[in-house]
Structure 1
Amino acid sequence: MHQGAVWMLTWEYPPRVMGGLGRHVADLSEALVAQGIPVHVFTCHVPGSPDKEVVNGVIVHRLHVHGRSLQEDFLGWVWQFNFALLDAILDEVGIEMPAVIHAHDWLVAMAARESQRLLHIPLVTTIHATEHGRQRGIHNDLQSYIHGVELELVSITDKLIACSEYMTREISSLFGISPAEIAIIPNGVDSKKVLSSLGDSLSIQSFVADDDEMIFYIGRLFSEKGVQVLLQAFPTILARRPKARLVIAGKGPMEKELCQWVQSSNLEQRVTFTGFIEDEQRNALLKRADVAVFPSLYEPFGIVALEAMAASVPVVASDTGGLGEIIRNGENGLKVAPNNDGQLAEAIVQVLENPQLAQRMVLKSQEELRSIYDWNKIAIDTMDVYGKAIEEAEEVRKGLLAKAQRVG
């Protein structure tokens, strides 16, 4: 089992959390530290956060990215971020050398590739999602470029990790990698982070009334997350459950369009958009929710579903991607066909009408959080992947040395 230092490369890390990736890297890093593995995380600067600090044992380097902003020049920002990553890595190598570089998704690919090449250190990569999956195809030059970067990253990495069988099949199909070469290690959830600061109910008073039946969505407001399907289902739900209140937490490019749809449908009195919320408000809303709904059209895993389970909230989700693997219909949640507002409405009403079913599913999901989605188990499985990468790199090194000696 691997024991050397791990250097994580990621574009997001708390308090910068855009989706599930940032939380994944943070929880995995802290779980590795708990197993005695030194971990450095290299990520981008967050205003108000120190450039370097130790967070729960993890050494976090937050790097300033020069040039135009992410919003002004996306690819230019990505390149500058990778230059900053590589500079920081090379500076840190003067102090200590890692045993493994662990890259997370394509945005750190250039720095990962150059670190592997210059330092002769094994590279492990977790592919959290693909551009083809997010966009449901490749439709323009930018998407084609990102797809190409993903292909190169997958081809050079020493060991590859995916979070679900669904993602393993997707990576294999898109990039020509044998499924046998991909380690499947699920995301996890730290229940203590969801439960330890459940939040003051005063912080959510403006979002939900005491007698509302609260339906909760949390996530980015992108089309692949299926929020529009949930909104289309809501009038049917409201006709059967007049006290239903839909609370939508998160930000994204669809926010304006979704708000306009709610207004044109005269649903403003029963639908609340919270915008971005901090963890304390998220926890308070989870504590208050009667059902959590994740209607994704594309979902490699779905950490938010695990967070809802950790808060003892019954879950309704689309039968797609990793979500379809987490949820077993009628046992630990309800799942419906993606992009089907009729089925979605029926499943949500079923949970609201049947508290016994809801409680039974919650209890089962709690069991599985402890047995399958525990970060300590996930850390140990990840350490095994690191160990194999190191062993195989050492075998290659010995082979090259032996060949050189024979030639000499």
Structure 2
Amino acid sequence: GQPRVVRYPSIPAATYPEFSLAVPFWPGMAERIRRLDVDVFHAHHPFLLGPAARRLARRQHRPLIFTYHTRYEKYAHYVPLRRSLVEAAAVRLSTRFAARADAVLAPSAVIRDELRARGVPTPITVVPTGIDLERFSPGDQIAARRALGLDPRGLVLLYVGRLDREKRVDRVLRAFERVAGTMTRTRLVLVGQGTQADHLRRLTNALALQDRIHFLGVRPHDALAACYRAADLFLFASETETQGLVLAEAAACGVPAVAVDAPGCDEVVRDGETGLLTKADPAALAEAAIGLLLDAERRSAMGRRAREIALREFDARLQIDRTLEVYGEAGDRLGRSLR
């Protein structure tokens, strides 16, 4: 039959309207979940609904699984309190929640290692976010560009993601300024929206690049593959990633990447093999990008290798199987402890 999905109500966050916060947990929902008689509680956030999931799991003697998706302390600037206090609280609370779960899923090895270094005793399994490799696959570049209203000629650099401070898209723009000054038939395409969108448009105008940088806004998930296929190179400057899902999507579409050498990114981009990792400054990003844009043969070889690795490591079906294994193991451990 069809899977049963119960959607929980939420409200926009005051400091970041694009992000939804669950409304306070109410008793009626607890009874509804009890009647469902679920086998596993899987929390994807240590705050708000996370503690509610833990209470219900303990009450119903079911395992609690927690996916540590985010370095929460890196988003402290969205909370209108002293940043150092918010960062410390985010680390403390998320670590404690992980320690109280029956199993933790980490999207990358670096997150697993960070949690272990903080003393989390819970079994931790690395399970990257999976990708639909049939949807995200190499395709006709010229057709993709035409579908997006882009000139099929020249070279296209792409960024996909939120246009927010921690993503350092300003660094991408300043790197492209250097690329554009060296290579006249290049364009940058930005896909996404966020709190920095207006600032980035003003920066584009200040750099006199409004004819070379295209803001496409938010695209439906089904349309993202065409954005990747239209690109010759993916450009990424964030240093706050737990995995860098867009890097994996680019790889699946056979697009090599130039990214900052930072935790999370370095597990998706294999330096010199599927792309290049650089220092966290526009000059280094631009130098790496120009080198690949000038070498079509190397760029193509990196794209093919990126697709090969994506097939092996990021297949959603593989990650589903891994997750189900964790569910079963956590349930077995909990069952033994309750005997």
2:286 corresponds to 1:345: yes
State which of 264, 271, 283 in structure 2 corresponds to 1:322. 264
Structure 2 CA distance for aligned equivalents of residues 155 and 380 of structure 1: 24
The alpha-carbon distance between structure 1 residues 73 and 190, as it changes in their structure 2 partners (threshold 3 A), is closer
Alignment of 1:210-359 (within 5 A): 210-337=152-279, 339-359=280-300
CA shift at 1:101, angstroms?
Answer: 0.8
| Whole-angstrom CA distance in 2 between matches of 1:277 and 1:397 | 48
Is the contact made by 1:204 and 1:281 (CA closer than 8 Å) also made in structure 2? Answer: no
Is the 1:164–1:186 contact (alpha carbons within 8 Å) kept by the matching residues of 2?
A: yes
State how many pairs are aligned: 331
Q: Distance in 2 between matches of 1:70 and 1:140?
A: 21
| CA displacement at 1:189 relative to structure 2 | 1.4
- Counterpart residue number, 1:176: 119
Q: 1:351 to 1:236 in 2, by over 3 A?
A: same
Q: Deviations over 1:314-340 (max 9, x none)?
A: 222221111101222111221112x22
With over 3 angstroms needed to count, the CA separation of the structure-2 counterparts of 1:388 and 1:281, relative to structure 1, is: closer
- Paired residue for 1:31? none
**Distance (Å, rounded) in 1 between the aligned partners of 2:226 and 2:331:** 43
Unpaired runs of 5+ residues, structure 2, are none
C-alpha displacement at 1:361, in angstroms? Answer: 0.9
- Structure 1 runs of 4+ aligned residues shifted over 6 Å read 196-200
Change over 3 Å in CA distance of 1:71–1:134 after alignment to 2: closer
Classify 1:187/1:78 alpha carbon distance in 2 versus 1 (closer, same or farther; 3 Å): closer
TM (normalized to structure 1)? 0.74
Aligned to 2:318: 377
- The 8 Å contact of residues 204 and 210 in structure 2, kept in 1 or not, is answered as yes
The answer (yes or no) to whether the contact 2:12–2:21 under 8 Å persists in 1 is no
Contact 2:9 2:22 in 1 (8 A): no
Q: Partners in 2 of 1:341 and 1:196 — Cα distance? A: 28
Counterpart secondary structure, 2:152: coil
Alignment of 1:44-55 (within 5 A): none
- Whole-angstrom CA distance in 1 between matches of 2:269 and 2:22: 38
Q: Structure 1 residues 193 and 130 mapped into 2: Cα distance closer, same or farther (>3 Å)?
A: same
RMSD: 2.8
> What residue in structure 2 maps to residue 188 of structure 1?
130
* Alpha-carbon contact 2:158-2:233 (below 8 Å) kept: yes
Aligned to 1:71: 14
**1:344 counterpart letter in structure 2:** L
Q: Which residue of 330, 333, 338 maps to 1:389?
A: 330
Q: In the alignment, which residue of structure 1 is the partner of 2:37?
A: 97
Query: Structure 1 stretches of 5 or more lacking a match?
Result: 1-53, 399-408
In the alignment, the residues of structure 2 paired with residue 379 and residue 280 of structure 1 have an alpha-carbon distance, to the nearest angstrom, of 20
- Give identity over the alignment, percent: 25
Give the conservation status (yes or no) of the 8 Å contact 1:100–1:386. Answer: yes
Contact kept? 1:245, 1:271, Cα under 8 Å? yes
- Residue 87 of structure 1: how far off its partner (Å): 4.0
The residue that corresponds to 2:52 in the other structure is: 111
Specify the code of the residue in structure 2 equivalent to 1:150: S
- In structure 2, what is the equivalent of residue 59 of structure 1? 4
Q: Output the CA distance in 2 between the equivalents of 1:224 and 1:346.
A: 22
Letter in 2 for 1:215: L
Shift of 1:141: 5.2
- The aligned counterpart of 1:20 is none
Q: Contact (CA 8 Å) 2:260, 2:278: kept in 1 or not? A: yes
